[in-house]
Amino acid sequence: MGWAQKKNSHSMTSNWTSQDPRTRNLYQRIIDRIQVHPIVPGKPVPIHIKTDKMPYMSPMSQHLFIISYAAVPMALHQAYCTSTGYMAGKWACCLHGNHYSRDPLLRRLIHRHGCLDGDKSDRDGISSAGAGRIVRALPEAAILRYALAICITYDADIAPLEAMRDTAYWPSFFTKLCLYGVILDFWFYGYHRACHEIPFLWKYHRTHHLTKHPTAIMSIWADNEQEIVDMIIIPFLTFATLCSIGLSLDFYEWWMCSAYVTYSEILGHCGLRVHANTPSPIMWLLKFWDADIAVEDHDLHHRMGWKKSFNYGKQTRVWDNLFSSSAPRVEAKESNVDYENVIWMPPF
């Protein structure tokens, strides 16, 4: 993406989609071709006032979505091992780094249900000057997010089925999946809040906050330093913390945990006007303690925050509640959610 500067001139103006297609640069043409527009250019989006009832997204549909898509590269990996008799090497295993796109699915939901704060502002599109940054960041995000797990934990002698056929494997894996998001969010919370409240760190996070009404694709709008911390340092600290309490992750466990984290980061930036909680096996417990996190929580962090903000967590509100940095919801407050109007995360 580029290295952070104390001041930068990143323009968030996005008017290129309404101009003559012949004037578009290479990166803008690539975005058109791969269809990662957060909202279809020229297609209307439903507008709701703040007090309109909000539909509820089924947590089960989100679990099924994450597990199904995370299982695809594992199935391909196993098929290769079974059909050839060879084990996949460390770098061949990069196929696990698929960055399956949720953007078209979330875009479809946005055009059906609208966006948060839609009565006041449109969502930020990909800026006219920033198309190149987005195109370059897509493969970087896919590679960086899983390269650490491959380097540290991948054992070429163990195929997916071999790792998972032992019945003793599953209780341990479930425990790790329950804890991973909470522990990762502890490290993320500390670093994220520091970037907002310690003056000399702000420049490393400033670019990401240029979007006030983010979209799924803008989750990767950040400088290099932030991407390195988000995708390498924070996951490594989470891995080390789990190891320190006797819960070391193997590659397939880390892959599945990362699939949940990636989904929640994209969901948290999408701006969809649906009450969708970040899925977790311990959602019931998080809800009991009012520590669950929803799409609107991080959306408010972008919309109303700058150097000083709130809602610093991205997987839960455990640490925001503990350190008194939670903010009340506006459209997704409990009385405004229509739990009878349940929608599902579309699988395709």
Query: How does pLDDT run across 168-214, given as a tens digit for each residue?
Result: 889 999 999 999 999 999 999 999 999 999 999 999 999 999 999 99
What rounded mean pLDDT belongs to the chain? 90
What is the tally of structural domains in the chain?
1
2 within domain boundaries: no
- Is residue 348, in this structure, part of any structural domain at all? no
The reported pLDDT for the residue numbered 94 is 57
217's tokens: 């694709």
Sign of torsion, CA 166 183 274 205?
negative
Is residue 100 over pLDDT 50? no
In a domain, 40, yes or no: no
Q: Which two tokens stand for residue 250?
A: 């193997």
pLDDT value of residue 10: 64
Do 311 and 317 contact (CB within 8 A), yes or no? yes
Host domain of residue 200? 46-343
Q: How far apart are CA 186 and CA 85, in angstroms?
A: 42
Residue 301 confidence (pLDDT) above 80: yes
What is residue 23's predicted lDDT score, i.e. its pLDDT? 92
Question: Is 1 within a domain?
Answer: no
* Residue that has been written with the tokens 């425990």 in this structure: 175
Question: At which residue do the structure tokens 């494997």 appear?
Answer: 169
Distance of alpha carbon 205 from alpha carbon 222, whole angstroms: 7
Distance CA 291, CA 308 (A): 21
- Is 3 within the bounds of a domain? no
Q: Is position 5 within any domain?
A: no
The yes-or-no verdict on residue 97 having pLDDT over 60 is no
What's the pLDDT at 1? Answer: 52
Q: Angle between the 103-113 and 251-269 helix axes, to the nearest 10 degrees?
A: 30
Tens of pLDDT, residues 18-76: 899 999 999 999 999 988 888 998 899 999 999 999 999 999 999 999 999 999 888 98
